[in-house]
Amino acid sequence: MDSTVTVTDNRTEKQYTFPITHGTIRAMDLRKIKAGPEDFGIMSYDPAFMNTASCVSKITFIDGDKGILRYRGYDIADLAEHCTFPQAAYLVIHGELPTPEQENEWLAALRIHMGIFENIKKFTEGFRYDAHPMGMLVSTMAALSTFYPDSKDVRNHDVQVKCISRIIGKIPIIAAYGYRHSKGLEYISPEPSLGYAENFMHMMWDRSPLEHLKHPVLARALDVLFILHIDHEQNCSANAMRAVGSSEADPFLSTAAAAAALAGPLHGGANEAVLKMLDEIGSKENIPAFIKGVKEGKEKLMGFGHRVYKNYDPRARMIKKTAESVFEITGRSKKIDLAMELERIALNDDYFISRKLYPNVDFYSGIIYEAMGLEAKMFTVLFAIPRAVGWLAQWQELINDPEQKIARPRQVYTGYDQRKLPDSYTYGVRTEDAVATTR
Ligand code: CMC
């Protein structure tokens, strides 16, 4: 079968044949379709990138209809069950799972960068006690750019490698320092000999009232949650990372921009909304009335539905499983039973079945984080820590892709045609009258 598409321009009755590659046509081919020699050519209009591939990528595969998520070809469930976060991070960045030697080198590179300048501590102190942790993370990440002028040399492979380890090594420290600052607690230095998630818990809980939450089972649960959040192909924050990175801004600034995109409630903030919703529902008897309200369009079932998944989000399945191990240590959260009953009722209801609405990653993640002692304001930060790996993999792929250029979309202009400035605006007009009025 010929992998081409032929379109007829009814204005000119001319036909154009374009190749189809990977199920796409090149938007630039559309420019060949012109009504006349002076015509600019046709563009595609796609607000919110509903049907536009902005890049070719080898990192993450999603089949939303089948509920499949893979990093570099490996199923997310296998990675979450059998790998550590640093191993999965290595895979996403480098394309292959590490050999034991490569893993040691990778861990050593991360450890070297698990330190932070004293000035950064002072910088953190400048925030008010109630500053949102995402605002602190975004600003501190951007501030790190000023400490590493070499990071501007973005096309240099060695610089790319170094910046990736720097950011992955430092982001949990920035997150934990922000938290400790807001609680008025002294900063706890990283302990690089610990596992990645374990070290984060150490910096969060050591010498604090929540010290008992430094537990190996909880650290492993956090490690799994980190793996599940590493990448999700061209979502809003990955797109921000690529768009800013395409201007050759350094990776600290690009990561800050990606984190800013994640901070929005439509992206990284839904797990917080799930907890609020469960609090409002209160108990199982109130679920039918709540569902009725959702069906009448009065509210949304938060943590349900997804632009891409029209099946069970595989991450939600893993999080639900991980929750059980967490509750064995922390005691069972009442919210999990309420959430499971809510899920059961929704998945048997025609409204949700017909719209293919299933639990997404955020449905259970807030419940598990809360049980682990993490407060709602920190949830998006917990998303950002592992997602930095995905952002950096996307950034490196972009920088090294010869087809990519600075991201610069087109627009459809629907504003005024040329207009004449009113005579009352005289500044800079070199007539005697105008000069007199400006004096
Ligand atoms: N509760 C009730 N109805 C819903 C929900 C929901 N959570 N989600 C979608 N619908 C309905 C929607 O009203 C529409 O119905 P109708 O066809 O009668 O108008 C239909 O399902 C299709 O929804 P849509 O709004 O066209 O779907 P979308 O792809 O534009 O939106 C979404 C996806 C995730 C924004 C949406 O499902 C939603 O708001 N969910 C709740 C918020 C949430 O959990 N967000 C986390 C997303 S996953 C994490 C991430 O990506 O960062």
**What is the secondary structure of 343-390 as a DSSP string?**
HHHHHTSHHHHHTT--B-THHHHHHHHHHTT--GGGHHHHHHHHHHHH
Q: Which residues are the active-site residues?
A: 267, 306, 362
Is the pLDDT reported for residue 432 higher than 90? no
256, 282, 395 from 404: Cα distances, Å: 21, 50, 11
Strand partners, 20: none
Return the pLDDT at 266.
82
In the chain, % of residues over pLDDT 90:
91
Give tens-digit pLDDT for 37-58: 999 999 999 999 999 999 999 9
Confidence of residue 123 (pLDDT cuts 50, 70, 90): very high
State mean pLDDT over 292-297. Answer: 96
SS3 (DSSP) at 146: helix
Is the pLDDT reported for residue 430 higher than 90? no
Distance CA 171, CA 210 (A): 21
Beta-carbon neighbour count of residue 419 at 10 Å? 7
Give tens-digit pLDDT for 65-74: 999 999 999 9
| Contact call for residues 251 and 392 (beta carbons, < 8 A) | yes
Domains of the chain: 72-269+386-399 (1.10.580.10), 283-369 (1.10.230.10)
The ligand 1 atom at the shortest distance from the C-alpha of residue 360 is 48
SS3 (DSSP) at 207: coil
- For the entire predicted model, the pTM comes to 0.92
Beta-carbon neighbour count of residue 311 at 10 Å? 15
From ligand 1's centre to the CA of 424, what distance in Å?
50
Confidence of residue 439 (pLDDT cuts 50, 70, 90): very low
| Contact call for residues 186 and 329 (beta carbons, < 8 A) | no
From ligand 1's centre to the CA of 300, what distance in Å?
8
Ligand 1 pocket by C-beta < 6 Å: which residues?
Answer: 235, 267-268, 270, 294, 300-307, 355, 357, 360-362
Confidence of residue 213 (pLDDT cuts 50, 70, 90): very high
Give tens-digit pLDDT for 354-409: 999 999 988 999 999 999 999 999 999 999 999 999 999 999 999 999 999 999 99
Q: Whose CA is nearest to atom 41 of ligand 1?
A: 302
State mean pLDDT over 138-143. Answer: 98
Return the pLDDT at 318.
94
Lowest mean pLDDT among 216-225, 250-259, 387-396, 426-435: 426-435
Give DSSP secondary structure letters for 10-58: TTTTEEEEEE-BTTB--GGGGGG--SSTT--------GGGTT------S
Give tens-digit pLDDT for 1-16: 779 999 999 999 999 9
Return the pLDDT at 433.
55
Closest CA to 134 of 257, 273, 318: 257
From ligand 1's centre to the CA of 288, what distance in Å?
20
Return the pLDDT at 269.
80
Confidence of residue 299 (pLDDT cuts 50, 70, 90): very high
Return the pLDDT at 1.
73
- Structure token digits, residue 171: 């982001």
Give tens-digit pLDDT for 81-103: 999 999 999 999 999 999 999 99
Q: Whose CA is nearest to atom 42 of ligand 1?
A: 302
Distance CA 235, CA 262 (A): 9
Place of tokens 């990519």: 404
Place of tokens 């750019």: 145
Quote the crossing angle between the two packed helices 379-399 and 236-245, to the nearest 10°: 40
